[in-house]
Amino acid sequence: ETGVTQSPTHLIKTRGQQVTLRCSSQSGHNTVSWYQQALGQGPQFIFQYYREEENGRGNFPPRFSGLQFPNYSSELNVNALELDDSALYLCASSHNNEQFFGPGTRLTVL
Amino acid sequence: AQSVTQLDSQVPVFEEAPVELRCNYSSSVSVYLFWYVQYPNQGLQLLLKYLSGSTLVKGINGFEAEFNKSQTSFHLRKPSVHISDTAEYFCAVFSGNTGKLIFGQGTTLQVKP
């Protein structure tokens, strides 16, 4: 069984640019959640997708948006990047109230 | 609103000594509780979870935790730590209403030889 995968592993962008992060969920999992983990902090919930629809959102501005595809893979898009967006972005797919995390994408905004 | 407090930001301990990482939560509804471990430059790995049933939960790598409803705690314990246990540990509560995990700030476990 393939676990949750994310791409890319690392990314460097400059302020004002846009970025797309990708996540492939674990086989059979139809729910995907995204989290932002700033350095030295616990992960913070961004949003969740269930069967291609947004199913809950944390306290993040609209420039954070997402998509889920029919195969349950997902994208996180961030527009107008700010320095504070530098963080580890984690994707998790869900089954039976348990979330399985991918390795994360490390985004650095300069 | 649900929240999680990890009471220690860093816990230094010598190899083969016992360790306890403390976690308190607040919730007005039934809770599902989790402990995750994060090794440097990696994602989160589930150590153990409490969904229902026995309040003593055993997880991977010799870790266990006890759910205490009256004290709203879910402390993580290991009787004898190894150098390889050095990592960041996160306690989390699952919010059934929103489908999200709410994490504590994390505890850095530093195992010394």
Query: What would the mean pLDDT of B37-50 be, rounded to a whole number?
Result: 91
Residue A37 has pLDDT above 60, yes or no: yes
Q: What is the percent of chain A with per-residue pLDDT over 70, rounded to a whole number?
A: 98
By Cβ distance, the residue of B41, B43, B100 closest to A48 is B100
Q: Find, in chain A, the residue whose alpha carbon is nearest to that of B10.
A: A40
Asked whether the predicted pLDDT for residue A77 surpasses 60, the reply is yes
pLDDT of residue A3: 87
Interface check for A20 against chain B (CB to CB < 8 A): the answer is: no
Are A42 and B106 inside 8 Å of each other by CB? yes
Q: Which of B19, B44, B17, B18 is nearest to B106 (CA)?
A: B44
Question: Which token pair is B86?
Answer: 């050095």
CA distances from A84 to A11, A36, A38, A44, A87 (A): 15, 11, 8, 13, 8
Which pLDDT score is estimated for B29? Answer: 73
CB contact under 8 A, B100 and A100: no
- pLDDT tens digits, A5-35: 999 999 999 999 999 999 999 888 889 999 9
Which residue type sits at A101?
A: F
Closest by Cα among A85, A80, A75 to A106: A85
Distance (Å, rounded) from C-alpha B85 to C-alpha B34?
Answer: 17
